[in-house]
Amino acid sequence: MTTSSTRFETMRRLLTQAELDGWLLYDFRGGNPLAAALLGIPPDAHLTRRYFFWVPRAGQPTLLANGIETGNWRALLGAIPGGETARIRAYSGHLDLQAALGEILKPGQRIAMEYSPSAAVPFVSRVDGGTLEQVRGFGVEVVTSGDLLQQFLRLSSDELDAHREAAACLLAAKDAGFRLVHERLQRGETVDELSVQGAVMGVIAEWGMVTDHSAIVGFGAHAADPHYSPSAAQNARLLPGQCVLIDLWAQKRPDLPFADITWMGCAGEPDEGLLEVWSAVRDARDAAVDLITTQGYETLQGWQADRTARDLLTERGYGEAFLHRLGHNIYFTGHGPGVNLDDFETHDTRRLLEGLLCSVEPGVYLPERGIGVRSEVNLYFAPGGRLEVTTTPQRQLLVLGRPGVTYADALAAAI
């Protein structure tokens, strides 16, 4: 964790590098949680009026706050980046607020705000259109703060270690689930989705990890529903030849990064159709990883890896069955606020930056054929442009229930 003074100096350095005159952080009643998080404003702070916090590339920062809330702000400023030296400019009515903004914003300035052109990246697009009109009315150019914000998501070495520990837990947990399937099939017993989910979640609990939702376990057509979750009302029994999808995620503590993986198996020998879909998904995953490795993550934006994987699946005839983005940022929430590998749900133009984590998880969903296949690994953008795959990639389908084959041997054949 960085101190507020260190964060303030980082903000100034980033503004200098980007040749921006300043960063205008704005919020009204929690509409811009990115601003509140960056400034370190606690959730229980009693702030009910609009505020602007101006971080200039050089010079004194300024807080524009409603006059009835300046007392609340004085109690917060000591922990806000730049707050100790900030000038408080209290405003009263809307005309006074307009005058206060005019004291800061000058024609020709280039400033950052939580805005995304054409809302291409809705994770960053937090400032409402009317406020943008108001700010632009002073003759300034507003640019997105998306890449500036990402600089504050870099993982420390301790946080990265916690992610690796979570990844090890998940690999052990998915083995518990697949082993249950494998051994029950060998004994000729039935196996249902909730039983497998219970085995997976038992290992996560044994490791002391936490998660916001139970693992996804889907058989056959259920695996073709990307966010399927078994329940007492829908709990399929596994049939011969069906695919088995296990998607699981967890973190060591709520203030540490998640890990997030998906693996695939088959009840008995897979047919050619399932093998073809699996091969396409695996190759799309590897094509995206290879792009980032060979070209260097520092040269890429989030949409480009998605496009590489999506083009491959389209060439194989499965493009229309790839229903979601390629991957998401991983942070203290499973789906973090950083860059996503996405040219489908959004066109993410944010850069892949050192110190960030993301998932790569292409999928093909064919419910009419009873097939859903997804393969997910986690990537860490390591120093020096190096890419690290932090979770074990699956190379072949796990063939479950073969007579005389141990689960360990079945797993070895899949990696």
Question: Residues 192-234: pLDDT tens digits?
Answer: 999 999 999 999 999 999 999 999 999 999 999 999 999 999 9
Q: Are 69 and 47 in contact (CB under 8 A)?
A: yes
Class of domain 154-414: alpha beta
Class of domain 4-152: alpha beta
Q: Does 4-152 match 154-414 in CATH topology?
A: no
The amino acid occupying position 174 is K
Domain boundaries, the chain: 4-152, 154-414
Q: Which of 349, 327, 345 minimizes the C-alpha distance to 336?
A: 327
Would you put residue 404 in left (φ > 0), alpha (ψ -120 to 50) or beta? left
User: Mapping DSSP to helix (H, G, I), strand (E, B) and coil, where does residue 296 land?
Assistant: coil
For the entire predicted model, the pTM comes to 0.91
pLDDT by position in tens, the chain (length 415): 457 889 999 999 999 999 999 999 999 999 999 999 999 999 899 999 999 999 999 999 999 999 999 999 999 999 999 999 999 999 999 999 999 999 999 999 999 999 999 999 999 999 999 999 999 999 999 999 999 999 999 999 999 999 999 999 999 999 999 999 999 999 999 999 999 999 999 999 999 999 999 999 999 999 999 999 999 999 999 999 999 999 999 999 999 999 999 999 999 999 999 999 999 999 999 999 999 999 999 999 999 999 999 999 999 999 999 999 999 999 998 889 999 999 999 999 999 999 999 999 999 999 999 999 999 999 999 999 999 999 999 999 999 999 999 999 999 999 9
Q: Which of 377, 346, 345, 296 minimizes the C-alpha distance to 146?
A: 346
Angle between helices 157-186 and 407-414 (to 10 degrees): 120
Q: Are 283 and 311 in contact (CB under 8 A)?
A: no
| Radius of gyration (C-alpha) of the chain in whole angstroms | 25
Exposed/middle/buried for 120, CB within 10 Å: 0-12, 13-18, 19+? Answer: middle
CA distances from 169 to 165, 208, 358 (A): 6, 9, 18
Cα–Cα distance, 131 to 134 (Å, whole number): 5
CA distances from 27 to 63, 140, 369 (A): 12, 19, 48
**307-329 per-position pLDDT tens digit:** 999 999 999 999 999 999 999 99
The residues pairing with 218 across neighbouring beta strands, listed in sequence order, are: 245
Distance between alpha carbon 281 and the CA centroid of its chain, in Å?
Answer: 20
Average pLDDT across the chain, whole number: 96
